[in-house]
Amino acid sequence: MQKEIDSFISYLHNVKKTSGNTELSYQRDLKKLRIFLEEHGIKSVSDITEATLSDYVKSMSDSGFKPATISRNIASVKAWYHYMVSNGLADKDISYSLKAPKIEKKAPDIMTLAQVNSLLEQPSGDSPKEIRDKAMLELLYATGIRVSELIGLKMTDLNMQSGMITCRDLHKERVVPFGTTAKSAINRYLNDSRDKLIGEGKADTLFVNCSGVEMSRQGFWKLIKYYTKKAGIEADITPHTLRHSFAAHLVENGADLKSVQEMLGHSDISTTQIYVNMNHNHLRDVYAKSHPRR
């Protein structure tokens, strides 16, 4: 069974050109499945049945896994079976009957403008690291890009004259504008910080770590946590919280949904719709608290 899993991961890496994080996610999910099956005496793909797959899903539910986690595991199993059937490693797709649990959509956590300002004001020193941190945080909130896009930016993706950055993935690219505050912070980083961080080395990455190479997701995550604590913000702030806040604040201030969708890189506008719904809820709360004849 491990052979078929390894073959699938190799296919993702070499043919689909998926990211390392995506491959690790599939590996974790399928390892969990393999362990469950082996504990029940099933060591070959040909011995897996619809019933055993259903038992596996039920076991995750009984163990208290969240619906989102169960849904992701089911998606991994389905993708694996689709690959095996397509490549003659399995006779038929017995995963088709697996049903993902209903996931209750939770409104994303949004920072207040005061919280955003407090967070962005924290890196205020003159060290190369703080100058870099200031530029990264300002650009993240100014554009709403994903943290993977932020740390993956190349020097050639930055157009200071037009105030635009270009974000790319395997399938498409988009151009996102940034304002004068972020531009000023980036300018200072390029003039006073980047070369000092790179030292004698060379890098085409826009933002580098203290070793002069591309920053990791974990490194930026720690950076956010550090400045959140320094700002005295008790809420659990993540890089994605700034992305949600960027979108919600745009919509609240009158931005049209299509433009926000393009800046966020959402393929489906229904994904962006949540920020409109949040704004409506906010207006209802304001009305309920403020109208004299409520």
Ordered domains of the chain (ranges, CATH): 2-86 (1.10.150), 113-289 (1.10.443.10)
* Tokens standing for residue 235: 């809420």
Give me the helix-helix angle, 113-121 and 239-252, nearest 10°.
Answer: 130
41 is written with which tokens? Answer: 């005496």
pLDDT number for residue 181: 94
Q: How far apart are CA 260 and CA 262, in angstroms?
A: 5
Locate the DSSP E strands across the chain. Answer: 158-159, 164-168, 173-177
Give the span between the Cα atoms of 234 and 16, in whole angstroms: 41
133-188 confidence digits (pLDDT tens): 999 999 999 999 989 899 999 999 999 999 999 987 656 789 999 999 999 999 99
pLDDT of residue 199: 86
Residue 31 CA from chain centroid, whole number: 23
CB count within 10 Å of CB 189 equals 22
Residues of the chain with pLDDT under 70: 103-106, 169-171, 277-294
Distance CA 227, CA 103 (A): 32
Q: Would you say the pTM of this structure is higher than 0.75?
A: no
Query: What is the rounded (10 degree) CA torsion for 191, 196, 197, 200?
Result: 120
Q: Give the pLDDT of residue 289.
A: 57
- AA identity, residue 42: I
Q: Which tokens in the block code for residue 148?
A: 């993977």
Q: How far is CA 253 from the centre of its chain?
A: 24
* 57, 58, 59, 67, 95 from 64: Cα distances, Å: 11, 10, 9, 9, 22
State whether residue 173 is helix, strand or coil: strand
- pLDDT for the residue 186: 96
- Spatial distance between the Cα atoms of 158 and 193, rounded to a whole number of angstroms: 16
Q: Give the pLDDT confidence score for residue 122 in this predicted structure.
A: 95
d(Cα 146, Cα 167) in Å, to the nearest integer?
Answer: 9
Q: What is the pLDDT of residue 139?
A: 95
pLDDT for the residue numbered 118: 95
